[in-house]
C-alpha cells in the first residue's frame, strides 16, 4: 500500500478551495488545529460544546473558546478569501484538501465502556461528512483505541465495535462503504505516556486516560487534483 500523502491539518481550521499553486504557501492559518465547517466558516462543536482537535493541534495553537481547560462556546470564524494567483489559469479545477488524520475523543463519541454513538458523537461525525463532500481521497480508515483498564481481549473487541460504529454511521450518510475500513487496536497504542495517570482505577485516573479512548479517522491516498475543465 502506498503511504498516505501528508497534508497540513487544519482542525479544526477552515479549508477553503485554494489554487494548487499556492497551497504550499499556507502554513499556519488562523485556528489551525481545529475542525472548521467549510460552509459557515465556524468551528464545529458537539452538542455539549466540545471543539475537536486534530494531530496538527499544539498547546501553542489553543484559542478561546476552544482552550482545552475551558468549556467551549460557539465561535464564528470567517472563511478566508481565496488567494489570487495570476499563474493559475482560469480553467484550473480546484479540489478541496482535507486533513490527513482526525482524532475523535471516544468519550465524546460514546458513553464510557460503550460502543453506541451518542447524539453529540453523531454531530461530530456530521462535521466530518461535510468535510468529505467534494474532497479527493482513496479510502478512509477508522481505528478504535481504548485505555489500559480491562483485559486485552475485551479492549480489542471494544475498539473494533467502536470503529465499526463510526464506519456504519458514515455509510448511513452516503459515504461509500467500500471506501471505509474499520479496525481496532485495543489498548496497544495509548496516547498517554507510561508515567502518566498512575494508580488504580478511579474517576481521576479514568479522566486522565481520556486521550487514549479515541477513534482516529485517516484519509488514505488523499490528493490535490487539478486539470482543465
Residue 171 resides in a domain? yes
User: Is residue 229 a part of any domain in this protein?
Assistant: no
Residue that is written with C-alpha cell 480553467 in the block: 91
Whether residue 62 lies inside any domain: the answer is: yes
Query: Chain-wide mean pLDDT for the chain?
Result: 74
> What CA–CA distances, in Å, run from 78 to 5, 15, 41, 54?
28, 11, 5, 20
Describe the strand order of the beta sheet including 180-184 as a list of residue ranges.
101-105, 214-220, 139-145, 180-184
Peptide bond into 204 cis (omega under 30): no
Give helix 152-172 / helix 119-132 axis angle, nearest 10°. 60
pTM of the model: 0.58
170 located within any domain? yes
CATH assignment of the domain containing 62: 3.30.1330.60
Range of the domain at 212: 20-220
Q: What does R_g of the chain's alpha carbons equal in angstroms? A: 18
User: pLDDT class for 78, splitting at 50, 70, 90?
Assistant: low
The pLDDT tens digits of the residues spanning 112-123 come to: 889 999 999 999
> Does residue 226 fall inside a structural domain?
no
Count of CB atoms within 10 A of residue 134's CB?
Answer: 12
pLDDT in tens, 32-72: 776 776 665 667 766 556 676 766 677 777 777 676 544 44
* In contact, 12 and 33? CB cutoff 8 Å: yes
Residue 156 lies in a domain: yes
Domain count for the chain: 1
50 in a domain, yes or no?
Answer: yes
13, part of any domain: no
Side-chain-facing half-sphere of 183: CA atoms under 13 Å: 7
User: What is the rounded CA–CA span in Å between residue 210 and residue 146?
Assistant: 9
pLDDT value at residue 67: 62
Amino acid at each position: 500500500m502506498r503511504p498516505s500523502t501528508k497534508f497540513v491539518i487544519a482542525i479544526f481550521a477552515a479549508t477553503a478551495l485554494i489554487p494548487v499553486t499556492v497551497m504550499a504557501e499556507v502554513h499556519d492559518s488562523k485556528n489551525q488545529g481545529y475542525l472548521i465547517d467549510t460552509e459557515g466558516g465556524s468551528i464545529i462543536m458537539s452538542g455539549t460544546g466540545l471543539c475537536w482537535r486534530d494531530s496538527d493541534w499544539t498547546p501553542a495553537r489553543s484559542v478561546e473558546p476552544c482552550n482545552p481547560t475551558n468549556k467551549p462556546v460557539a465561535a464564528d470564524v470567517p472563511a478566508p478569501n481565496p488567494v489570487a494567483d495570476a499563474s493559475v489559469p482560469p480553467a484550473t479545477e480546484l479540489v478541496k484538501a482535507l486533513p490527513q488524520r482526525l482524532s475523535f475523543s471516544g468519550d465524546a463519541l460514546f458513553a464510557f465502556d460503550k460502543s453506541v454513538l451518542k447524539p453529540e458523537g453523531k454531530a461530530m461525525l456530521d462535521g466530518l461528512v461535510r468535510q468529505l463532500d467534494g474532497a479527493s481521497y482513496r479510502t478512509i480508515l477508522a481505528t478504535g483505541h481504548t485505555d489500559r483498564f480491562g483485559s486485552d481481549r475485551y479492549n480489542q473487541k471494544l475498539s473494533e465495535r467502536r470503529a465499526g460504529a463510526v464506519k456504519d454511521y458514515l455509510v448511513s450518510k452516503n459515504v461509500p462503504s467500500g471506501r471505509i475500513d474499520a479496525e481496532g487496536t485495543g489498548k496497544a497504542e495509548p496516547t498517554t505516556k507510561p508515567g502518566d495517570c498512575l494508580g488504580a482505577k478511579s474517576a481521576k485516573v479514568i479522566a486522565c486516560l481520556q486521550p487514549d479512548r479515541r477513534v482516529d479517522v485517516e484519509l488514505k491516498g488523499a490528493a490535490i487534483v487539478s486539470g482543465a475543465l
